[in-house]
A and B are shown apart, each in its own frame.
Chain A
Amino acid sequence: MYNLVMKDLKLGISPWFLALPLFTGALMLIPGWVYFLVPMYFCFITVPNMFGGFKSQHDLLFSTMMPVTKKDIVKARFAVIVVLELLHLLIAMIFGAFTLRLYPNLTYIFFAPHPGFWGLCFVMLAIFNLILLPMYYKTAYKYGAATTVSSTAAILFALAVQWAGIRIAALNDIFYGPGTENTGLQLSILLAGVLVFTAFTLIAYRVSARRFLKVEII
């Protein structure tokens, strides 16, 4: 599996997409912006370009010619996607920490980059993975519908929690009010988000691997 991951990182993915998290992460420095958009750039830009590259370079045929199992092909691709997602989130979190210190008295309309917000971002990417990858692995090359549906689901989740965060008092307290000072609560939400991300991605892997076993390399 390691060789497949290295194949993706060295051949399949343009180095630009490894650098992109630095640029999207820097957008966290815009005061009071819609920070949900930062990890969403991974969904909008990296995923379709990366999958388009795999398709145009016949990566599926290339991989299946190698002495590797089909499960390992899926596992390696999941590993690469998760690494890129974590790169986007971790770099954005670092920039977000600077933002909180740079603009301490800002009134946020959209979520501020507190740890709890990053928990929500993990859930958003969990939903994205859960829809994108099993849909993609029905064919292992058609990515248009999978990207559209999964990105739409991620946007709807972001809109729903943003709306709830503004309109529902209990949530407003957590993300805008005294809850932002409660480090334990914030870290708990972050941890819950990481757990949801892990669980959903594992489920997505199991479904994808099962589907890919049935895919014929034509």
Chain B
Amino acid sequence: MITFEGAAKHYPDGTVAVADLDLTVETGRTTVFVGPSGSGKTTSLRMINRMVEPTRGIVRVDGVDIRDRDPALLRRGIGYVIQQAGLFPHRTVLDNIATVPLLLGVRKRTARARAAELMELVGLEPSMGRRWPHQLSGGQQQRVGVARALAADPPILLMDEPFSAVDPVVRTGLQDELLRLQRELRKTIVFVTHDIDEAVRLGDRIAVFRPGGELAQYDTPERLLTEPADAFVESFVGHDRGVRRLSFFPARSLSLREDVVCGDDLKVEDVLHIAEGHPWILVIDAARAPLGWIAARALRDSPTGIRLGEMETVPYGHTFSVETDSLRAALDAAVLSPAGRAVGVDEDGCVIGVVGQDDLGTALWSVTD
């Protein structure tokens, strides 16, 4: 557990980087410090490993005032991942990862063996161990940075905008990887970002900082989106917070219709009665994979005897997974579908049913209560 007790950082020129911060970071959880630039989030992070000394107040790690610890020794017990990775250009990937164990006096062989394990853990090819950092892509360098921070198995991991210098696709991959690692390792992670989406995605708890180094709100992601503490948080979180909040509600609460789902071997006349009450039917193949939508009008205009599989269909857009996706994904699937309806599938991609606009609307309204 990390506690800030009235921690503040004032510079001699009068600038206030952090104003009286009182905050408790829970053990084994991911806490995200988020805010615009100049809000003191990085300064607060660096108070934890004494890279910044507070001008007032106390920072404790597991109850111990960190001013009583030697800075270098304290830091060797706290992993640190920096923006742009900060890898040592003159050391191979493997030796970069082995840095802290070597500082702690672990023998070179042991340290390198540990480094090789960590490369596997963060998803790097073992052959990359002999390369120089500059031969790696930005995303790979950042993976090495994470591996290096984990090498001495520190209970605390500080991450200072680690993914902000990589492109969005790579960033999403790295975020997924971090979520996976965290499920496995259960470290106390403090993560700094200016990206609220990243914060909501990664954080168990989010601390929103406002310019001037004040803590504006400290809450779970869900409560942050539901009940922003003030106008600043509300505007920082963004005006689509209502839609984003749907990420916290599982799609499995939706009621799915099966009656409009028809096999491709059925003939037009077999399904005309379904088309009476519904403007669209979904055609699936024998393996229950979706093929596309057919409008009720198109069915009525078709000659009898034709199989659904022979008819032209309207693309179904993307599906949502009933078990693992959220209401937000279901809503998105419905919005993007030409039929205005979302196709729900199971883990194997087999169609379970479809959600109509009415049912979706009911579900959306129910979560606002």
Q: A and B from one assembly?
A: no
